[in-house]
Amino acid sequence: MKILIYFGIFLLLINKIQSKKQKNYTEIATDEEIEKISQELFELSDNNLLSQLSLNLQGHHKFYNSTEDLAPEPLLTLHDDFSESETMRFMQMLYDNYERNTLVEETVTEEEMSEERNFINALLQTEIMRRAMNFLESKSLVQNHPESHYCLLKKIWFDFYPRSKGKNATSSGFEHVFLAESKKKKLIGFHNWIYFAAMERDGALNYKGWENIIDLGDKAKIIKIKFDLDGMRKAVSSIFIGTSPELEFALYTICFKLRVNRNCSLIYDDVNFIIKTYSMIYNKKRFVASAFVMA
């Protein structure tokens, strides 16, 4: 009987802790507030990238463990009139700055640090990122100062941490989400369409078909796809298509600060979707471990 009583008390304490965590999240920002800011950010996105590319979905996979190649042709084709934004150009300059293997030590040069600074500054100069930072300011999650905005992005996205216990700090949120990493010869991360297009163009990526798609009107699509990169299989990955770097950074950063390790419910044009962000704690600091949209 005593065991049952103690077990009941234990469950009550767990429920109380979980309720407190839930309350803390919603006290800072309600789900409705986060959905509202996501709608605003999409409305600010006027680069019209989606209309400048073609999406060739091809074969439809019905099961997660399916490995068959149902797509003989590439997924993405950029039109001749495709216009890269400044943030896209700066982001692509970072592609050769990282070691994909999480066990290989990263060597950072002065030139690479300069490229990183240029990209972060370019993000912060966009109207989308300014609005996102204003929203985080209103929740006391960042100070009303450009340096505070820069430091937030630099720390959670670009500072290095170890992806495995006892290993060197060789991973970052940016590399994991906007590029790709390999761990024990397995492909991990890879949640960005611009990097996907670059790898397809270079012949390093073999697209194998899709599982699901969400249409966000003329702004973007969300797709769940299968592919191989340099012979390494990605069983499934969900990515935006047609979004700018600043829009993805804004959405992911807001969700990371307000709904980390939980579903982050967003909306655009009456279509609901979810972003998931996960954190990594290293030296008592919290970094982006992963961030992706769900399809």
Task: With a cut of 50, say whether residue 251 has pLDDT above it.
Answer: yes
User: Taking a C-beta distance cutoff of 8 angstroms, is the pair 207, 197 a contact?
Assistant: no
Q: State yes or no: is 176 an active-site residue.
A: yes
pLDDT digits (tens, 9 = 90+) for 44-68: 998 889 999 999 999 999 988 889 9
How high is the pLDDT of residue 235?
A: 96
Point out the catalytic residue in the list 61, 149, 221, 234: 234
Compute the distance between CA of residue 75 and CA of residue 200 in angstroms, rounded to an integer.
Answer: 8
- For residues 93-102, average pLDDT: 97
Task: With a cut of 60, say whether residue 20 has pLDDT above it.
Answer: no
Point out the catalytic residue in the list 176, 221, 224, 257: 176
Q: Which residues of 37-47 are buried (b: 16+ CB within 10 A; e: fewer)?
A: bbeebbebbeb
Task: With a cut of 50, say whether residue 17 has pLDDT above it.
Answer: no
Q: State yes or no: is 145 an active-site residue.
A: no
Q: What percent of the chain has pLDDT over 70?
A: 91
Compute the distance between CA of residue 135 and CA of residue 129 in angstroms, rounded to an integer.
Answer: 10
Report how far apart, in Å, the C-alpha atoms of 139 and of each of 57, 136, 143, 258, 285 are: 40, 5, 10, 9, 20
- For residues 94-121, average pLDDT: 97
- The count of other CB atoms within 10 Å of the CB of residue 226 is 24
Band (pLDDT 50/70/90 cuts) for residue 26 is low
Structural tokens at position 43? 């409305």
Of residues 239 and 1, more confidence is placed in 239
Band (pLDDT 50/70/90 cuts) for residue 25 is low
Chain centre distance of CA 105: 23
pLDDT digits (tens, 9 = 90+) for 196-242: 999 999 999 999 999 999 999 999 999 999 999 999 999 999 999 99
Q: Quickly tell me which residue has 């471990």 as its tokens.
A: 289
Q: State yes or no: is 191 an active-site residue.
A: yes
Compute the distance between CA of residue 276 and CA of residue 9 in angstroms, rounded to an integer.
Answer: 32
User: Taking a C-beta distance cutoff of 8 angstroms, is the pair 249, 191 a contact?
Assistant: no
pLDDT digits (tens, 9 = 90+) for 150-179: 999 999 999 999 998 878 999 999 999 999
Backbone angles phi, psi at 205, to 5 degrees: -120, 135
Compute the distance between CA of residue 174 and CA of residue 158 in angstroms, rounded to an integer.
Answer: 6
Point out the catalytic residue in the list 191, 221, 226, 276: 191
User: Taking a C-beta distance cutoff of 8 angstroms, is the pair 207, 188 a contact?
Assistant: no
